[in-house]
Structure 1
Amino acid sequence: MYYEIATLTLPFGTAAQAAQQVQAFANAPGAGGELLACWTSDIGVLNQMIVLRGFEDRSALDAARQRTLASPSPFGCGELYQRLELASYRAFDWMKPVRPSAESGIAGPVYEIRTYGIKPGGVSKTSELWAEYLPARERLSPCVIAMVALDGAPRFTNIWAYPSLDARSKARADAVAQGIWPPKGGPAWLTTDMVSTIALPTSVSPLK
């Protein structure tokens, strides 16, 4: 599966309006792909709307990117957003496709979006280690997706769902205490370029 993360930096107080316009843009005839999540940042860089869309193949993702770039109002928010960033991703081959909460049972409402820089040769090593260690880690909290960037700096992004910030802290502490996370040897393949955002679903988000 392929994914796109679009990040819109918005004026203060416009998130509700933007979410409705994002939904309309993503679900319009001919839009392609599937709207999977529409979050607003709560901890990290603020006033951001983070939109996750899924695609069956690379050509569908590329077509959606071209549609966005050609649009006079990308995501229906061309006159609203202050900045738009687009990033394309390919999921680790063994990851299950992201599905809405109603289908998957995965829900927040607290989502953590973590992006790590990755060293040369680290993509396959990271995928192998995550495939080995993630099943034990997911007994503590579900991983929505782990995926590698197809553009920009070499990096991979992983998204986690938690019922609360306290639950996030507990799951992470328990994982370390039990020795099941992070994957042994995994950090050696990462750079120090690491970013984490806590995001909350908007009313239009299929991931709740």
Structure 2
Amino acid sequence: MLPGVHSDIGGCYVNNNEEKVDLYEEHENDGKNCERFRNILIEEGWYKPEEIVVHKFTYPHKYGVNTKYLLVGTRRLFSTYDKISLNTMFHYSQQEQFGVKYEQKRVNKHKISDVFLTEIYNQLKNYMNACSILRNTYIEEYNQSNSSGDYLSKIKTLHYEDFVDLEKLKILRNQYLHWSASATKTGYGPRVGKVSNAKERTRNIQYG
């Protein structure tokens, strides 16, 4: 339930498992872009300084030496962030317009027990509710005029960072959120391949 975050509800992640990711690769500039990206990810809370390093590799050949710089992050993560996504689905699907019914014992089985995640969930729910309220306002307008007006521009002004305590967001990123993109694995490349901050490293978000 965070833009750009991969959360596997099926449970394929192992709790407290080590995640090692090649985050950025460059072959020139003395690894300066790797260092810039490293500083960004530390500032945003994804990694502690000791968890993210730039490696230098040299490959001699008969015409000289090729050099590669690789930014690598290594963390141990909790696998329980999926509870937020699952409980969000419970929350919205049980609303009157959808009318989905669940056995209460099954809902209770999947309640969030982590105090920290409960706090994050409540903060994110405020963000999601704000999106829903805005969307519902424009649904009424659309039904009357067959036009969504400026809905898309309005919904993009709502950003989850405005609803979540930023220091807690850093803890969430560092301890719970998996980094699914890889700079070196085929098919796993990041959508934004340049050095950029979190607001620019977003996937195609279906706003609202």
Q: TM-score, normalised by structure 2?
A: 0.26
Higher strand share: 1
Could you say which structure has the higher helix fraction? Answer: 2
